[in-house]
Structure formats: C-alpha cells, structure tokens
Structure 1
Amino acid sequence: MQQIDAKQAMAFVRQRRDTTDPTYLFSDLDRERRQQAFIASVSHQLKDAGTFTDIGKMQGVLDAVSKNIVVDSDLNLIQLAQQATSLTGGNISFSTLPITGFGTSPDGASINTVDVKQVQATVKELLTPVPLAPVPTTTAIPTAATTSPAAPASEAAPASGAAAPAPATPSAPASNVYADSTGALQGGAIACVK
C-alpha cells in the first residue's frame, strides 16, 4: 500500500490528463475512477481506525468535512455511524454514468456526450431497490412428519409429480432511495457534491 500526503492526494483526485505523454488518453472518467479509489481507501482506513463506531472521532471527521463541502444540516451522527460501518469491506459500490463519446462544446471546451434516455434509465435502475424474493407462507400445522430431520439431499426425492424446492435467494440489503434531488437528505445519508 502506498501512502500519500494531502497535497499528493489532491493532485491524485484532481488530475484529468497526463500532459507528459500525449498518447495517454485520460479523461474525466479516469479522474472519477481515481476519486472512487480514494474514497474507498479513506473509508477502509476510517473503519480500521474505529472511526465509524467512535462518536468523538466521527464528529472530528464531520467537522473537517463540513468546512470543505456542503453537508445536510439535519445529518444524524448516530445514524451515520451505524450506516458507515457497512460502507467498507466491499459494501461500497460506485457507478459511472454512460457516455456516448467525447466532443467539443461551441466555446471549445472538451465535453462528454451522453444519451439522455440511457442516463435516465441507468439512474432509475440504480435508484430502484432490488425486489426481495417472496417468502413462502403456509397455513399447515407442523406434525411429527414435517418437523423430523430430513434425509440428506442426495437421498431425498420429491414426492410423485412434485418439483424439487428452489434454493433460497439471498435478500437484498436495505437502502434509502432518493428520487428527488432537491429535498433534504434523510439523517445519515451521504450527500453528493455538485
């Protein structure tokens, strides 16, 4: 693992193009990937330091962050700490909105071109919670036959004409969905910086 200081970190997350070699075709997408890697690394370090579960440490982080970015005034520290513990260890996912190519604006600036309908569909998909698998219900009262240990799977056979039961589907984690970006975030939510 490589450690960098604050100045190097700022250079890392802000770099768009490598001007030392014109064959490198870096773009805003590369910058976004570096920012995602930085956020994942910081989250991992905060978790390892116990910051997410220590109210004092978390308050210090929030104080530093609030001086540099806009955060929701109703941010609930306890909820944030509870949610933040699940953000590391592979529980963070990053999504990059699709582009159709690169272009130049009328005033000469480099731009990413997008298919608006494709972007809207991607955002809708990302904000729509994954439906949970239905839980089977029964009104039958358990009997000795239904509560006794079952035969091993290799020996068990479905009843005549019955299909074998389907394996259980893991449930999706709970999440908050924000369909309206103009309203305040719920306490503990992570704000996007525009």
Structure 2
Amino acid sequence: MQRAAAPSRVYYADNAPPPPEPPVRGRLWRVLGGLSVVLSVALVAGSLTAYGFWRRLDGQIDREHVEGRLGENRPPKLNSSLNILLMGSDSRAGENARYGEEAGQRSDTTILLHISPGGESAIGISFPRDSMVQMPPCKRKNGTTVPAQFGMINAAFSNGGPACTWRTIESLTKIHIDHYVEVDFAGFKRVVDALGGVEICVPRRIDDPKAELHLRAGRQVVHGDQALGYVRTRYVLGDGSDLDRIKRQQAFMASVVKKATDKGMLTDPGRTYDFLSAATKSIKADDRLTLSVMQKLAGSLRGMSAGKVRFVTVPVQAYPQDKNRVQFDQALAEPLFKAVREDNKLPDPAPATPVPAQNAVQPVPPEQVRVGVFNASGETGLAQRTADQLGERGYRVVKVGSSKKKYSRTMILYGAGAERQAARLAIAVPGHPPRPWRSARPGYVYLVIGNDGARLRGLKAAVPKLAGEIRADRDICART
C-alpha cells in the first residue's frame, strides 16, 4: 500500500496514466475588435477597428530592434499575461532642448505595466530611480559592451538605452518582459493635451519658476507644460524624495487612465483618434510591438475600467552606504514579483459551486486523491504550477504532462472507483463538475486544464496589495 505524500510534495509514478484524449466539444472564440495604446502615462482601449486607421497609427511609431541585445538567459514566458516596460526619458535632444542642457539621457521614470491574462486587470509597478541595483552587461547599438556594474537603476538607460533597462529589470525581477514603450518630455505634453488636460489636486498654492509650475490649491485640470512640471518637480511638493515624486506621478497616471477610459471619450471617434494619433507620434517602441500585436492587445483590453488598474512601487529600504539612495526590500519585493510571474488568472470567473444534494458523493481527504495534471491550453508551465499548488494542499500528484489536443474548457475526469476522489478535487478547482471516463485508469483522477484555466479555491494569483498603492478610479484629492 502506497504511503500518502507530504502536503507539499509532488510524486511522479512510472505507471501513471497517460494524457487523456476524450471526445470534447470545442468552443469557438470570437475575435473582438478595439484599439489601445500603452505608454508611460496611459492605458486605453476603444472600439475603432478600421484597418486603414490602424495603419496610419502604426506608421507614426518610432521603432527599434532590441531583441539581440537582451541576452540569452532571459526569464521564460510562463503565461498569456502581457508585460510592457514603460520608460520616461529625460533626453534634451530636439524639442526637449528647452529643458536645459544635460549630457546623455536616463530613464526619468521606469514602470513595468502588467496586464493579466484576458485583460482582467492591470498593475503598474514603479522602480525608484535612486534604487541601487546590480546591472548586467549590456550591448550598445554600435556593438560595444558595457560591463556589469552596481549603481543606480536609471543608469542602465544611459549605459545601453531601452534594451539595457529591459535586461536589468528582467534580471532583477525574473519577469519576462514582452515590449517596451518610451516617451520623452515633448511626447508627454502632446498626449496630455490630446486628452484635453488631466485633473490633479494639490494641497496648497505652488509657484516654482524653475519647473515653470504655477498652481492654485485644490482640484484643477493641467495641460502641457504645467502637467510636465507637476510630475517632474521634486522640491516644492512633498518631501523632495524620489519616492514622494513617484506617488505624485502614480496619482497623475491614475487620473490619465480614468480620463482615457471615460465613456464619453471612447464613444467620440474624433477625440479618440486625436488622442491615439498624438500618442503614437510621441512614443518609441520595440519592433515586435507590431500592428497585429496592438490589435490583439486592444481586443483583450476591451472593457477595461479604471477600477481594474492600480499603481504600486517596488518595496524599498534605506541603502546603508548613502542616505540619499534606496535598495529593494527583497522580503516584500519578491512576493510581488512572484505574483506577477505566475499570474494565471483568466478573464472568465469560475462559476458558483452548486449546493450538494443530500445524497451527494462524500469527498475523501486530499491525501487520498491520486491526480494527473495535464496542460491542454498551450500555456507553458501552467500544468506544473497547478500541480505544485495541489501538492501544497496535500493532493498526491502522480503525473504532470501535456495533452496532445487543446481544449477550451477545463475537465475533471475520473476512473472506476475514484468518484469520491474526483469530488474532492472539484472542491479545490470549482466550476468543473467531475465526470467518469471509461479509458481512465481505475482509482485515478485527471485534471485537464483548458483555455478557461484551473483557478484553485482560495488561491488568488492577483498581485498582493501594498501599502500606498493607488487605484485609477480613486478620488484625485484623496490621501494615499
């Protein structure tokens, strides 16, 4: 007789059942039209789908090939979420010369925008520019290499441009980044003006000639130069720290998202086009952020509301060698990064579990359930991560594998004598009523994960709440 596995251990039996291939009716997925642009100040989805419209917008984006400069040992792509690195450049070239002379350019703002599978929610993670981090070696456009070094995180941009910042963030978080978007000062102003201005709230009257910033106290709408001065000023608002400025920038971006997702704007084709045209003229992106990718992104984001978008800052602590610098608080930062890496949450909520009848099958304890977990969704690593979660709950995972066929719906199947075991698994993975399968091995249960996922009861893949986080639907004058 086999011994029950320890709660966190996963077994792989040599005689475990093969991936099941039962006849299942597939489901056709409708491709939703829409549009979206993601940049350092906005995330928006609309309903215009004309190909010519997309082509005009696509042709306005300045693109750069960076793939060959991201290194070979990149984090794997674990799910269908989308991670976009948003960078605000402090370049003084061209239209930006009026903001003073400064050699080179740095990432004035660095945000990792994470969009959950299916566009269910989004979170922007800010990386303080004063963070002291280990940066990997980076290749420049001219082929030369900048050696690995320890320093402020925003130096990565000056070392090797967006590709170096991209590689640095991946090395620090182990999160696979899909694309990058960069915007400079002039581009930022164009986008804000195209929105018709953005609402802010300041605690007192502000007069800062250096930042060209003059604001009255309270709620108000800012445009162009005033908006730029508001997000950049460091000493006339707050305590002068970069962390305090980040909170102000996040509040501003939350207001932008709220404005950009406003129904009045999205139902006005003229306003929508003006905004998107200004945005695409203002950004630089990687060459893999193609027209088809943007259209696919638009479809997944259709219906995104401000309440589903939030902004957080990577948890940091004082850097002992310099009071003006900070370092990541790994004990708090790693759970944040892990949640983003393993976000398998899908757009459709799990159906409510029906109340069992009086003669319902009585489930056995988890340690008596021998289960094979098979990936039929095509999403890399989903079966293993689900198996690990089941193992942590005491289930005896005897096999992890992939199904040759792909299915739209997740199934719980069981062999002869395993009805009670299947009933227990259905409690852990609600919304998928168990059913017998004649070809199943007696005593075994099969979890076949389809496109609708396998969300375990009580386990939420959502990024944990952090102190000071800002939701995009908040009152702009509310304290954070």
TM-score by length of 2: 0.24
- Distance, in Å, in 1 between the alignment partners of 2:321 and 2:223 is 35
Where structure 1 has 5 or more consecutive residues not aligned to the other structure, the ranges are 141-168, 175-194
The one-letter amino acid paired with 2:230 is F
Matching residue of 2:311:
94
SS at match of 1:13: helix
Rounded to whole Å, the distance in 1 between the matches of 2:309 and 2:276 is 19
More strand by share: 2
Provide the aligned length of Structure 1 versus Structure 2. Answer: 138
Task: Tell whether the 8 Å contact from 1:99 to 1:113 is kept in structure 2 after alignment.
Answer: yes
* AA of the residue aligned to 1:33: K
**2:430 is aligned with what amino acid?**
P
Counterpart secondary structure, 1:137: coil
- Among candidates 230, 236, 244, match of residue 18 of structure 1: 236
Equivalents in 2 of 1:171, 1:50: separation in Å?
A: 37
Cross-structure match for 2:227 = 9
After TM superposition, the structure 1 = structure 2 runs for residues 34-73 of structure 1, keeping only pairs within 5 Å, are 34-48=248-262, 50-52=264-266, 57-72=271-286, 73=289
Q: Does 1:29 align with 2:243?
A: yes
Q: 1:111 is matched with which residue: 284, 309, 325?
A: 325
Q: Distance in 1 between matches of 2:300 and 2:270?
A: 14
Q: Show CA shifts across 1:127-175 (max 9, x none).
A: 32266753251449xxxxxxxxxxxxxxxxxxxxxxxxxxxx799799x
> With structure 1 as the length reference, what TM-score do the two structures score?
0.53
Residue in 2 aligned with 1:160? none
Residue 100 of structure 1 aligns to a residue in which SS? strand
Q: Kindly tell me: are residues 78 and 130 of structure 1, through their superposed partners in 2, closer, same or farther at Cα, counting changes over 3 Å?
A: closer
Distance 1:126 1:39, change over 3 A: same
Alpha-carbon distance, 1:113 to partner: 2.2
Structure 2 residue aligned with 1:125, among 319, 326, 339?
339
User: CA separation of 1:100/1:48 partners in 2, compared to 1, >3 Å: closer, same or farther?
Assistant: same
The equivalent position to 1:135 in structure 2, one of 416, 428, 431, is 431
2:181 aligned residue: none
Shift of 1:33: 1.5
**Deviation of the 1:3 alpha carbon:** 1.0
Give a deviation string over 1:35-71, Cα, whole Å, max 9, x none: 1111121222222254445666444323322333323
CA contact 1:102–1:111 (8 Å) conserved in 2: yes
Seq. identity, %: 27
Given that 1:52 and 1:84 are in contact with CA atoms closer than 8 Å, whether structure 2 keeps it comes out as: no
State how far apart, in whole Å, the 1-side matches of 2:270 and 2:280 are.
15
Confirm or deny: 8 A CA contact 1:18 1:26 kept in the other structure. Answer: yes
Residues 125 and 78 of structure 1: CA distance in aligned 2, closer, same or farther (over 3 Å): closer
SS at match of 1:67: helix
Q: Give 5+ residue unaligned stretches, structure 2.
A: 1-218, 351-428, 437-456, 463-480
Higher helix share: 1
Q: Does the 8 Å CA contact 1:53/1:85 hold for their aligned counterparts? A: no
Give the match for residue 178 of structure 1. none
Gap change, CA 1:64 and 1:51, over 3 Å in 2: same
Question: How far off is 1:81 after superposition?
Answer: 6.4
The residue identity in structure 2 corresponding to 1:9 is A
User: What is the alpha-carbon distance in structure 1 between the residues aligned to residue 221 and residue 259 of structure 2?
Assistant: 11
Q: What is the rounded CA distance, in whole Å, between the counterparts of 2:275 and 2:459 in structure 1?
A: 32
SS in 1 for 2:298: helix
Q: CA RMSD in A?
A: 3.8
Code of the residue aligned with 1:11 in structure 2: it is G
Which of 61, 71, 76 is matched with 2:294 structurally?
Answer: 76
- How far apart in 2 are the matches of 1:26 and 1:120? 27
Aligned residues of 1:55 and 1:78 also touching (Cα < 8 A): no
